[in-house]
Amino acid sequence: MPRISLTLVPAVFIAAALAGCSSTKDDPTAKWTPERIYTEARDESSSGAYDKAVPLFEKLEGRAAGTPLAQQAQLEKAYAQYKGGEKVQALATLDRFTKLHPASPAMDYALYLKGLVNFNDNLGMFGWLTRQDLSERDQKAAKDSFESFRELVTRFPDSKYAEDSRQRMQYIVNSLAQYEVHVAKYYYSRGAYVAAIARAQAAIKDYQGVPSVRDAMLILVKSYDALGMTQLRDDAERVLKASYGDNPEQDPNKAQSKSWWKLW
């Protein structure tokens, strides 16, 4: 077995000591308490410096592992990632939280935040700025958002986030119905009347009671008429008038069509 020269030992210890000093110098939080890290992370997040807040919350997760403070850090990291535009990372953080802490008293907030991350791709509360609508966006995100809100109101009906979640669920349902109507209108404009009928029927069947059903029924009547299917057209028109009056093409709610979030 080769022997280590004793003359090399001091050099090894010196190198190790220097490495330790360098490591401490590179990490300004090395001597911080978990409470200080949390305060600094919150300050960065509150000021909008989410890119600085996230790594601090990550450090806190490690330093305070196994404590409520670590759980808090994980949730606030997810929020900072969400606000910083890191949607995928935020969802991954929330998925990890729900798996690691299924009995956490903050589970309702975790579900609410998960719903927000997927909600309308940042168009919900600020949709008036772009005049865009959720029904023109990614439908999978909308459905994932709905499921998170649904789980929240089912498991935590008295949560302070429950009422807002119910309103967002209603908005999502309305928008998904609108999506079907958008597609039906597209097919109708292209003369693909059979396809238009199929999508209109899907909206009527799957989203009963929402405003877009009226538009779906109008497309149904017009498509049957274009195909010369007079009996089906007349049947659909009778149902339409019975539901929406003798002038169904005029939307009685148009003057009050503001989206719920514009009231905030």
pLDDT tens digits, 12-63: 444 444 445 444 457 888 889 999 999 999 999 999 999 999 999 999 999 9
> Which residues, 6 or more positions from 36, have their beta carbon under 8 angstroms from its beta carbon?
29
Q: How much is the pLDDT for 244?
A: 85
Q: Could you tell me the pLDDT band of residue 210, with boundaries at 50, 70 and 90?
A: confident
> Which residues, 6 or more positions from 24, have their beta carbon under 8 angstroms from its beta carbon?
30, 31
Q: How much is the pLDDT for 254?
A: 47
Q: How much is the pLDDT for 9?
A: 44
Q: What is the mean pLDDT of residues 167-178?
A: 89
Closest C-alpha to 115, from 164, 159, 63? 164
* Overall residue count recorded for the chain in this entry: 264
SS3 label, residue 247: coil
Q: How much is the pLDDT for 258?
A: 45
- Contact predicate 164/145, CB 8 Å: no
Distance CA 98, CA 111 (A): 8
Asked whether the predicted pLDDT for residue 83 surpasses 70, the reply is yes
If one compares 3 and 193, the residue with the highest pLDDT of the two is 193
